Amino acid sequence: MATKKTNDLNMNFRLNRRTILKGAAALGAFGSSFPMPAIAQETTWTLANSMRSVANPYHATFAKGGEDFAKSIGAKYETLATEGNSEKGVSDIRALLQRTGGKLILNVDPNDSPDARVIVEEVKKAGGFVVTQWNKPDDLHPWDFDPNYVAHMSFDGVPTSEAIANELFKAFGGEGGIVALGGILSNVPAIERKLGLDNAIAKTNGKVTLLDFQPADWNEQKAFDITQAWLTRFGDQVKGVFAANDGMGMGALEALRQNALAGKVPVVGIDGIDAAVKAIEAGEFAGTVAWDPLWTGGMGLAIPYAHVTGKIDITKEGHEHREFYGTGIIVTKDTVADYKNNPPKVDYNDLWGKATGQIQYRS
Amino acid sequence: MKPVAVVSGTFLKHWRRWAPVAVLFALCILISLFNGNFLTFGNFIRLLNSAAIPIVLCMGATFIILMGSIDLSVEGVVALTAVIVSLLVVNDISSYAISLWAVPLAILVGGVMGLLNGILHVKLKTPSFMTTLGVGFAGVGIATSILGGATVRISDQTFRFLSLGRVFYIPMAVWIAAASVAVAYVIQERTRLGRWLYAIGTDETTARHAGIPIERTRILIFAIAGLFYGLGGVLAAAQFGQGHALISQGRLFTTITAVVVGGTALSGGVGSVLNSVIGVFIVVVLANGLVLMGVEPYVQQGVQGFLIIAAVALALDRSRLDVVK
């Protein structure tokens, strides 16, 4: 009896330990990537999206866009997260190239601009195909790495930021002072969005003045504290708050709420996160710009896939199809219902349908 | 001759003890010279509001640092508890809606994370630096996988009262922070645990010889710190009306900075939770003041760094003269 019991216990223990080990293995895999269940494969190519982290809504949707496309063609798909670490980003990609024997189609939002060059070179060496998003050095061009560097996609921060700033001005009657929260100073989107704001202010001929500009480093908490300080410094001179992304906009909105000003002082942001869309419906946000990451996430794989399946020859496409801007959607109180009822659709056959011109280099 | 030297020595000791307070006062005077609005009641409330969450977090972190350890799991615990509490109150993703009952639950989750910190650190003898870093990452990881990158929007007004509510014109979060300080002060001054953690921080070997249960104390203190971070997570969710995995970004740096600026030595054994309250106010007043004075954003970070080093230098000097045994 006693022996049996011990045996039982041992078995239980083994079972537990095995379960734990399994769990640990799953966790380990989880840390580096999210292996998706292998589905019936119709292609030998592996598809992957690489981005900073799935902890933020933009990148989570970006990853989902890639997964949706992979499902539509029955391909194996993986998500790689850099967790803000360039080294990890590059080495995960290197490992995946190794594992797939170079049969990899990669849609990557590099952690930092210089990473793009390393990634492109690695992919070319292995014979895979890559599309980059947002960040790359100005002198790195897809056509210099034919055919493996398929394309670079981005969004033009200047006109979108100018448009959303105008929505803010409209919301408070077009006359008065505003305060603005910027991103990390050295960041390309942060610089572009500031430029767009400056353009919009200049065009009001002095009717709208910028009371103060502070970088809050894309951080909600910092935005909250800075907005509080502004309320002390400027009081009711603040007619509106411009935030270079929705996260900071939410921080500003909560600071306004603490001072019973939510809904009275309009806020605008950029990115189109759910919370911002809901704040527009509540009349607290005057607007945001939605980037359509479902489209960038899927199309960054669909274009190279069209090339490898012979549907297009990417080397014969013009520069405006190799380096292009996507379309930002301006969401305001007037358009929010329509935006929610008819979310932007992705048509994988219309490869450049939402492209809005070749990328410009301003510096 | 001799008595004079003793008197001036005591004076110096006193001065060092009060150095962080003096720094805070000097800052306040300087800022109000530039901008009179600084001294208004409205701004006072805003400062308290900005200080509330860092104070709660610092209560936990101070204990750990007094013990001579470090806790880098702050952001992980805050992220996880904020996500959990936001899913348990009325929100747009889940439908548990247990309202304020979610608060003790989330705090408890924080305590369990802290307990995990303590057990791993003590039993595996891994440095607290690495252990808490790992547990912190795990916290953010779990919070991320629960939500998959989404944001929970809280619509529970009873819960949001914890941040938005006012009692005698003072925001609820500030009352909660004040209560945390009281609890931490009692633990520090009136319990054996409090005395033990100073003993461990000052000289662990001696403390061991004196028969202090080092392991048990360490584990318990890490767990208590976790409870404070859990409360911090609850307040963060109440303040922003949402829960997501990145809600705690930047909290760790502010917390450790505030503790050290307040005069608690990273080497352990010297300092107090009250010092950390002053430390938080120095950091918060500085951030508020730089905006009020209209200092160029490009210069601000430099000024902030310089002033923090200056404050720490004062505190360091004091610790050499005033070893608490």
**DSSP-based helix, strand, coil % in chain A, nearest 5:** 50, 20, 30
Q: Amino acid identity of A15?
A: L
- Whole-number pLDDT of residue A191: 87
Per-residue pLDDT tens listing for chain B (325 residues)? 444 444 455 665 666 678 888 889 989 999 999 888 898 898 999 999 999 999 999 999 999 999 989 999 999 999 999 999 999 998 888 888 788 899 999 999 999 999 999 999 999 988 899 999 999 999 999 998 888 777 888 888 889 999 988 899 899 999 999 999 999 999 999 999 999 999 998 888 898 898 899 899 999 999 999 999 999 999 999 999 989 888 888 899 889 989 988 888 888 888 899 999 999 999 999 889 988 888 888 788 788 788 778 777 776 655 444 543 3
Domain with CATH 3.40.50.2300 in chain A: 34-154+293-326, 157-290
- Say yes or no: A219 contacts chain B, CB-CB below 8 A: yes
CB contact under 8 A, B294 and A53: no
Residues of B in Cβ contact (< 8 Å) with A278: 92, 153
- Whole-number pLDDT of residue B2: 44
CB contact under 8 A, A55 and B144: yes
- Whole-number pLDDT of residue B47: 93
- Whole-number pLDDT of residue B315: 64
Residues of B in Cβ contact (< 8 Å) with A59: 149
- Say yes or no: B150 contacts chain A, CB-CB below 8 A: yes
Nearest chain A CA: its distance from B249 CA (Å):
7
Answer yes or no: are the C-beta atoms of A130 and A166 closer than 8 Å. no
First-residue to last-residue Cα distance in chain B: 28
Nearest chain A CA: its distance from B288 CA (Å):
5
CA angle A211, A216, A217 (to 5 degrees): 140
Task: Nearest chain A residue to B171 by CA: give it.
Answer: A258
The DSSP annotation for B39-96 comes to GSHHHHHHHHHHHHHHHHHHHHHHHHHHTT-----HHHHHHHHHHHHHHHSSBSS---
Among the listed residues B224, B166, B186, the one whose alpha carbon sits nearest the alpha carbon of residue B48: B166
CB contact under 8 A, A275 and B151: yes
- The residues with which A179 forms a beta bridge, in sequence order, are A212, A241
CB contact under 8 A, A233 and B250: no
Low-confidence ranges of chain A (pLDDT < 70): 1-42, 363
Spacing of C-alpha B175 from chain mean position: 15
List Cα–Cα distances, B126 to B62, B77, B130, B133, B284, in angstroms. Answer: 20, 19, 7, 11, 34
- Say yes or no: B155 contacts chain A, CB-CB below 8 A: no
CB contact under 8 A, A56 and B246: yes
Q: What is the homologous superfamily of the domain A157-290 according to CATH?
A: Response regulator (3.40.50.2300)
Task: Nearest chain A residue to B239 by CA: give it.
Answer: A254
Task: Nearest chain B residue to A55 by CA: give it.
Answer: B149
Which 3 state secondary structure label does DSSP give B243?
strand
* Start-end of H helices in chain A: 2-32, 57-73, 86-100, 113-126, 157-171, 188-202, 220-234, 246-258, 274-281, 293-308, 336-341
Give the pTM: 0.81
Nearest chain A CA: its distance from B122 CA (Å):
21
The DSSP annotation for A210-228 comes to EEEEEE-TT-HHHHHHHHH
- Whole-number pLDDT of residue B12: 59
CA angle A26, A32, A33 (to 5 degrees): 80
- Whole-number pLDDT of residue A305: 95
Q: Amino acid identity of B193?
A: L
Answer yes or no: are the C-beta atoms of B132 and B117 closer than 8 Å. yes
Among the listed residues B249, B277, B232, B259, the one whose alpha carbon sits nearest the alpha carbon of residue B319: B259
**CA-to-CA distance for B216 and A270, rounded, in angstroms?**
50
Give the number of beta-carbon pairs within 8 Å between A and B. Answer: 110
Q: How many helices (H) and strands (E) does chain A have?
A: 11, 13
Domains within chain B, CATH numbers bracketed: 19-321 (1.10.3470)
Radius of gyration of chain A measured on its C-alpha atoms? 24
Nearest chain B CA: its distance from A259 CA (Å):
9
- Whole-number pLDDT of residue A93: 95
Residues of A in Cβ contact (< 8 Å) with B166: none
What ranges make up the beta strands (E) of chain B?
Answer: 152-153, 166-167, 170-171, 242-243
**CA-to-CA distance for B195 and B192, rounded, in angstroms?**
5
Answer yes or no: are the C-beta atoms of B246 and B141 closer than 8 Å. no
- Say yes or no: A235 contacts chain B, CB-CB below 8 A: yes
List Cα–Cα distances, A196 to A72, A137, A160, in angstroms. Answer: 38, 21, 7
Q: Long-range contacts of range A34-38, CB-CB < 8 Å, 24 or more positions apart? A: A34/A63, A34/A78, A34/A79, A34/A81, A35/A78, A36/A67, A36/A70, A36/A76, A36/A77, A36/A78, A36/A79, A38/A76
CATH class of the domain comprising A34-154+293-326: alpha beta
CB contact under 8 A, B141 and A30: yes
**CA-to-CA distance for B256 and A280, rounded, in angstroms?**
37
Which of A230, A258, A275 is closest, CB to CB, to B164?
Answer: A258
- Say yes or no: B164 contacts chain A, CB-CB below 8 A: yes
CB contact under 8 A, A275 and B153: yes
CB contact under 8 A, B241 and A254: yes
Which of A59, A229, A233 is closest, CB to CB, to B149?
Answer: A59
- Say yes or no: B292 contacts chain A, CB-CB below 8 A: yes
- Say yes or no: A228 contacts chain B, CB-CB below 8 A: yes
CA angle A338, A158, A300 (to 5 degrees): 70
Which 3 state secondary structure label does DSSP give B171?
strand
- Say yes or no: B139 contacts chain A, CB-CB below 8 A: no
Give me the sign of the Cα torsion angle B256, B259, B263, B269. negative
Answer yes or no: are the C-beta atoms of A104 and A48 closer than 8 Å. yes
CB contact under 8 A, A250 and B42: no
